[in-house]
Amino acid sequence: MGSQAGRLDVAVVGAGRVGPVLGAAMRAAGHRITGVAARTRGAAERVEALLPDVPWIEPAEAFAADLVLLAVPDDVLGPLVADLAPHVRPGQLVVHTCGRHGTGVLDPAAARGALPLALHPAMTFTGTSLDLQRLLGAAVAVTSSAVLAPVADALVREWGCTPVGVAEGDRALYHASLAHGSNHLVTLVAQALDAARAAVGEDAGRVLRPLLQAALDNVLDRGDDALTGPVARGDAGTVATHLGVLAAHDPGTAATYAQLAGAAADRAQASGRLPDAPAEAVRAAIETATSTAARPAPPAPGEP
């Protein structure tokens, strides 16, 4: 155990954007970081910046610590746990930070006496010291046994975060909601930014920022009631025009617009915001525009 009462020796497996940041948060809380393990040393600069003087170790060596923090991608976690389980010591805390998995993925370690916890911070990491401030107040999805719930709560609060319980069977849906909302938001905004740049030049970010920030705040507060714009008004002609100009600008952006406009019409109609007739008109405009875009261009004069 660590030299201070209640403090732990902690080893981090994974030197991507998450592991070194959480290691730094735990060090700031008084725990001793005994080593960082990774398959390559490509992240050495990141680790040195966040955890100076912490040695590089082999993954198996991490299990000399009181707590092993597994900060690796979701698809890597299961095989890694199976590979490292023989090194587990009974009573050792084994914590992973993946969103998709609960504690079941740690069963090979638990079978050897490990105490499993699944703690996923619901935030985007840059792998820099900026994340230590962004952690403050962030939610962390916690999946644990009732016995270990106080331990999970204490660790999360030491990171400066707020624990939110997620049942084992709900982890995949929880993670899908975050990925859909955050990752696809990046794609959506990047497409909108490209189109805006084509229209207004380098002022695109200045034009979009207040609108997008207000829309995000409104939907988080009000849900579907925050919807505005041509779909919410049933302006099928405007939707058709948008799809036409976007198809000429970038077919991928037009396809995204069409799919999201259809989903917006469905939700607006279901919530009573959009009457049936204008909802059908919007869907018809989308169908016409997408079928036109998919139709091959006629051959040029003189071509077969």
| 1 falls within a domain | no
Q: Cα 74 to the chain's mean position, in Å?
A: 12
Question: Does residue 55 have a pLDDT over 70?
Answer: yes
CB-CB neighbours of 72 under 10 Å: 22
- Total structural domains within the chain: 2
How far apart (Å, rounded) are the C-alpha atoms in residues 29 and 7?
A: 9
Specify whether 82 is located in the same domain as 179.
no
Is residue 302 included in any domain, yes or no?
A: no
The Cα–Cα gap between 82 and 67 comes to 17
Contact in structure between 121 and 18 (CB atoms under 8 Å): yes
pLDDT tens-digit readout, 100-131: 999 999 999 999 999 999 999 999 999 999 99
Cite the DSSP H helix spans in the chain.
19-28, 44-50, 74-84, 107-110, 130-135, 149-158, 171-178, 184-200, 204-222, 230-233, 236-249, 251-270, 276-294
Residues 45 and 82 placed together within one structural domain of the fold: yes
Does residue 14 sit within a domain? yes
Q: Which long-range contacts (CB under 8 A, 24 or more apart) does 136-141 make?
A: 136/160, 136/161, 137/161, 137/162, 138/162, 139/163, 139/164, 140/164, 141/99, 141/165, 141/166, 141/171, 141/174
What value does the mean pLDDT of the chain take? 93
Which of the listed residues 134, 166, 198 is the one where a domain comes to its end? 166
- Identify whether residues 157 and 262 lie together within a single domain: no
In a domain, 299, yes or no: no
Residue 4 domain flag: no
Residues 182, 278, single domain; the answer is yes
Residue 73: give the domain boundaries: 9-166
Same domain assignment for residues 113 and 48: yes
Residue 303 lies in a domain: no
DSSP 235: -
Read off the pLDDT of residues 15-43 as tens digits, 9 standing for 90 and up: 999 999 999 999 999 999 999 998 776 67
Instruction: Read off the pLDDT of residues 167-197 as tens digits, 9 standing for 90 and up.
Output: 999 999 999 999 999 999 999 999 999 999 9
Domain shared by 138 and 199, yes or no: no
- Is the same domain home to 98 and 143? yes
| 27 and 48 share one domain | yes
Same domain, 97 and 126: yes
Q: Of 166, 195, 227, which marks where a domain is finished?
A: 166
Task: Kindly state whether residues 126 and 206 are assigned to the same domain.
Answer: no
Q: Which residue has the tokens 């912490």?
A: 54
Taking only the tens place, the pLDDT of each residue in 207-235 is 999 999 999 999 999 999 999 999 999 99
Whole-model pTM: value is: 0.87
How do 139-143 and 56-57 pair as beta strands? unpaired
Position 3 confidence tier, pLDDT thresholds 50, 70, 90? very low
Q: Is residue 41, in this structure, part of any structural domain at all?
A: yes
Q: In CATH, what number is assigned to the domain containing residue 52? A: 3.40.50.720
The residue that leads in pLDDT, 5 or 103, is 103
| 273: enclosing H helix or E strand | none
| Closest C-alpha among 116, 160, 124 to residue 142 | 116
Residues 140 and 14 in one domain: yes
Is position 117 within any domain? yes
Across the range 254-261, mean pLDDT stands at 97
Cβ neighbour number for residue 24 with a 10 Å cutoff: 23
One domain, residues 192 and 229: yes
Domain boundary among 139, 166, 193: 166
Please check whether residue 171 is in contact with residue 143, taking contact to mean a CB–CB distance below 8 angstroms: yes
What pLDDT shows up at residue 2?
A: 43
Q: What is the model's pLDDT at position 127?
A: 93
